[in-house]
A and B are shown apart, each in its own frame.
Chain A
């Protein structure tokens, strides 16, 4: 997936480190991907693999001591010149403007995005008034309209409610309304439904898909749920220890995965498994980002690891198996799920 003219975002060889007193945590180690306009890219992987840090880097929101060590992040606003994010000052005007207008984020825990002491109506309208210079009246009308579109019943009455007065699913809708009200080109959704029930999850995902169609929105969907990925993504990037080990169109990744980690993840899902047979689990657990194994970082847990090949040297490079399917495994040619 090379960056093309109609991408909204491209990331090339991104490296992010967290130097702490005791150790250096290498959270992201050479991530590259791009998101075509109007499509959904899912970033999947287990806890700690670097999904959130990667997403935060797009808006330069990484907390200290973390820093982007190297790499290129480029946003392509529709009617402006491309912006190279990595070189911008974290407090620059350009960044501030992009955050409100071109790119918005939905976080896992809706409460972190909402202020408990303001009504939900004023919070949503606030971002309109700051970024779009709308009057109070206009902002309110647009907010009511947005609430209606995200399926909040009785939108006008809701404006006056506080976040603690509404359910978790409803709060997440408010956050989505807030994220979409300035008509962004890219929505970054970091585990938007992990804390919610399946029925509410289904409603919120359907809603995002619908709004995507209406607004030609691009979505970076961050999740560890391969079911959500299969149902909602166009393309998938699978991350392990700060690297993308496999990426391609959703059907290829789910139906014909070629990286041992992707294969193992899919095999460990109970939904794809006949009851009675033991699940295939991946042995061991994810090592810390402070001591990444030499060679292929996955080799200590890999079923296909070969001595004297996978356990030494540099990590395997991502290679194309076909023009749209890339795998970073030394034995990819031999491995079939």
Chain B
């Protein structure tokens, strides 16, 4: 996808989210700060899908939640240009956010706990319309029936409760709920991780179809790299709160530049017995509460030099749309 001449729909600049936790010692008032998201910047163009990958705790969910403003960012800009002029989501008040919220939706990982068990499917799906005071009872019902059909459920299902549905069907309900506000931008946080492969394939196909139909712009968070490769136009690899590599999906997968990306890719177990995994030992996982000085990845990196221990590398362009944050590239 060529992204040069278009206006981005979303420009994230130096986004940070720090959590302050008690440092663990009793009686001590000191806190440690967990840099869950640290100077994250990227652009997202209309209609494209950006995959967000990285190990558990690297900050994928926190980044997503900051963008939809389920969290208040510590620092940074989130410029959203749905209606021409960019608005900085990071500094909007709750009141101002209300108007923009319908355009930005999030689909969650766990289809089992993200639906209220005491609400019918119908009221779950129409709730966003009610909250945002859109339409009346009749139009809401019509829209709901349409959405349920779109995601492959039946309008009759509206009267039933979540427990009567399988994991895949519940994920469809979550998608219908996100869809009903006609968003232009959707963040999916591990939407298929809890599902079986055969059902996962149904949901991935559905998401792609809906994206085509409604021209959604997507951020797709997942730890399954094969899924991300399949669905994304571009990929951002995160490590310890930072983006360490960003680029066109095939470029990143075929010519990874950052040592962490290389390690991550080497650990994918391919479903082919003749293609043996080349993974090599990589040492301790990063703790975002106690990051080392310099490049956060240096304790695990086999190429580490003195500079890496002292200075945090910036994300630098290495050719068309390919950014790498490593001193040695």
**Which of chain A's residues 133-184 have a Cβ closer than 8 Å to chain B?**
151, 153, 167-169
Residue of B whose beta carbon sits closest to that of A227: B269
Contacts of B274 in A (CB 8 A): 251
Q: Residue B26 at the A interface, CB < 8 A?
A: no
**B55:A203 contact, CB within 8 angstroms:** no
**Which of chain B's residues 181-234 have a Cβ closer than 8 Å to chain A?**
196-202, 204-205, 208, 223-227, 229-231
Contact of A199 among B55, B227, B231, B270 (CB under 8 A): B55
Q: Residue A197 at the B interface, CB < 8 A?
A: yes
B318 to chain A, nearest CB (A): 22
Q: Residue A271 at the B interface, CB < 8 A?
A: yes
Contacts of B273 in A (CB 8 A): 230-231, 250-251, 254-255
Q: Residue B130 at the A interface, CB < 8 A?
A: no
Q: Residue A70 at the B interface, CB < 8 A?
A: no
**A279:B271 contact, CB within 8 angstroms:** no
**Which of chain B's residues 165-181 have a Cβ closer than 8 Å to chain A?**
166-169
**B282:A271 contact, CB within 8 angstroms:** no
**A203:B197 contact, CB within 8 angstroms:** no
**A281:B270 contact, CB within 8 angstroms:** no
Contacts of A103 in B (CB 8 A): none
**B204:A231 contact, CB within 8 angstroms:** no
Q: Residue B306 at the A interface, CB < 8 A?
A: no
**A270:B204 contact, CB within 8 angstroms:** yes
Q: Residue A323 at the B interface, CB < 8 A?
A: no
A96 to chain B, nearest CB (A): 36
A22 to chain B, nearest CB (A): 14
Where chain A touches its partner, the secondary structure class is helix
**A198:B201 contact, CB within 8 angstroms:** no
B263 to chain A, nearest CB (A): 6
Contacts A203-B282, A269-B197, A275-B229 given: A227-B202 contact, CB under 8 Å? Answer: no
Contacts of B270 in A (CB 8 A): 227, 230-231, 271
Contacts of A255 in B (CB 8 A): 273
Contacts A197-B55, A199-B263 given: A228-B197 contact, CB under 8 Å? Answer: no
Contacts A254-B273, A270-B227 given: A198-B197 contact, CB under 8 Å? Answer: no
Contacts of B118 in A (CB 8 A): none
A46–B276 Cα gap in the complex (Å)? 24
Q: Residue A224 at the B interface, CB < 8 A?
A: yes
**A268:B166 contact, CB within 8 angstroms:** no
Contacts A198-B225, A227-B268, A254-B271 given: A279-B166 contact, CB under 8 Å? Answer: no
Q: Residue A272 at the B interface, CB < 8 A?
A: yes
Q: B-contacting residues of A (Cβ < 8 Å)?
A: 46-47, 151, 153, 167-169, 196-203, 205-206, 224-232, 250-251, 254-255, 264-266, 268-273, 275, 278-282, 285-286
Q: List 18 A-B contacts (CB under 8 A).
A: A46-B197, A47-B196, A197-B55, A198-B225, A198-B268, A199-B267, A199-B279, A202-B267, A203-B281, A224-B197, A228-B269, A231-B270, A231-B277, A250-B273, A265-B198, A268-B201, A281-B205, A282-B198
Given A169-B285, A198-B269, A273-B230, 13 new contacts (CB under 8 A): A198-B55, A198-B223, A199-B279, A203-B279, A205-B269, A231-B276, A255-B273, A269-B271, A279-B205, A281-B201, A285-B166, A285-B199, A286-B196
